[in-house]
Structure 1
Amino acid sequence: MRKDELLNAAESLLADQGAGCLTLAAVAERAGVSKGGLLYHFATKEALIKALIERLIADFDELVAAQDESSYTRSYLAATLAAVRSGRLRRWAVVTGAAGDPQLLAPLREAMCRWHRAGMEAEADPMAAQIVRLACEGLWDVATHDPEIYDESQYEELHQRLLALLPSP
């Protein structure tokens, strides 16, 4: 079994049952492998959570890089909306909920700092860019708790309104 399949099983377990139910035995059962098979890839629960967080960061970095926008903030906004619309957002909530140890969340905190500082000196209006990025954070939080709060037309309107805060490219 591949690592991604084990991580998917862990995320699924977290989404369905919460952080308190995240055990290596439960993840192995959800993945349909022996506990030894899981331990081959992840020797501890902390190693599993660390891998989940690293995958989250890499996924979002890839999503931002895949956007064809004129500024980092525009790409960040488009990536956030893509993540929310696709349901990839839920992954953030379940993984951060599982990582009760501040040390485990350190890479995510570092990534958040990097994302919010990236390209700020190149932005025509750094404060407007920061406001848009902070709005993205709020959207992540709200949509995590109520994934169906907005329909496609509302997401598009939100996207356009946030773009309007930024200077034209």
Structure 2
Amino acid sequence: MRREELLDAAEDLLGDQGAGALTLAAVAERAGCSKGGLLYHFNSKEALIKGMVERLIEDFDQLVAAQGHDTYTKNYLAATFEAVRTGRLRRWAVVTGASGNLLLLAPLREAMARWHREGLDDEPDPVAAQIVRLACEGLWDVVSHDPALYDDERYDELKRRLLALLPA
């Protein structure tokens, strides 16, 4: 059993049944492996949650890096809208909701701080860049609670308006 498949199973379990259902035995069952197979990769529930958080950060970093814009904020904005439209942000809600332990979310807090500082000195208007990044955070939060809130037309308009806040 691969590590990624175990993380997928844990995220699916969280999304379907909530944080109370996240046990090592339930994840192993969902993944179709033995508990020992799961323990080989994750020796505790905390290690499993940490693995999910780390994967979320890495996934978003890769998504930002894959964009082809001239500033970090434009890449961040494009990555946010791609994540929202593809349902990837649902993972954020279920994973961050799984941990009542703030120490397990420390890597996510560090990543958020990095994402909000990254490239600001290179932005033509650093304050506008911060406003757009904060608006992205608000979109993440709202859409994680109600994924069907906006249709494609509304996303296009929101993205267009946020881009308009940034100097060309």
Normalised to the residue count of structure 2, the TM-score between the two structures is 0.99
Tell me what 2:155 maps to.
155
Tell me what 1:64 maps to.
64
Tell me what 2:113 maps to.
113
| 1:101-120 per-position Cα deviation (integer Å, ceiling 9, x unaligned) | 11111100000000000001
Distance, in Å, in 1 between the alignment partners of 2:55 and 2:74 is 23
Structure 2: runs of 5+ lacking an equivalent = none
Tell me what 1:32 maps to.
32
Q: How does 1:11-160 map to 2 (within 5 A)?
A: 11-160=11-160
Q: CA RMSD in A?
A: 0.6
How much identity, in percent, do the aligned residues show? 73
Are 2:4 and 1:4 aligned? Answer: yes
Amino acid at match of 1:54: E
Structure 1 counterpart SS, 2:30: helix
| 1:96-141 per-position Cα deviation (integer Å, ceiling 9, x unaligned) | 1112111111100000000000001111111110000000001001
Structure 2 counterpart SS, 1:124: coil
Instruction: Pick which of 93-102 and 81-90 moved more.
Output: 93-102
Distance, in Å, in 2 between the alignment partners of 1:156 and 1:144 is 18
Report how far residue 85 of structure 1 moved.
0.3
Report how far residue 151 of structure 1 moved.
1.1
Amino acid at match of 1:107: P
Instruction: Pick which of 147-156 and 64-73 moved more.
Output: 147-156
Amino acid at match of 1:145: H
Structure 2 counterpart SS, 1:79: helix
Distance, in Å, in 1 between the alignment partners of 2:68 and 2:128 is 20
Structure 2 counterpart SS, 1:159: helix
Moved over 6 A (4+): none
Distance, in Å, in 2 between the alignment partners of 1:113 and 1:101 is 19
Distance, in Å, in 2 between the alignment partners of 1:162 and 1:138 is 12
Are 2:166 and 1:166 aligned? Answer: yes
Amino acid at match of 1:34: S
Distance, in Å, in 2 between the alignment partners of 1:147 and 1:117 is 27
Report how far residue 157 of structure 1 moved.
0.8
| 1:131-157 per-position Cα deviation (integer Å, ceiling 9, x unaligned) | 000000010011111101111111111
Report how far residue 46 of structure 1 moved.
0.5
Report how far residue 81 of structure 1 moved.
0.3
Structure 1: runs of 5+ lacking an equivalent = none
Amino acid at match of 1:126: P
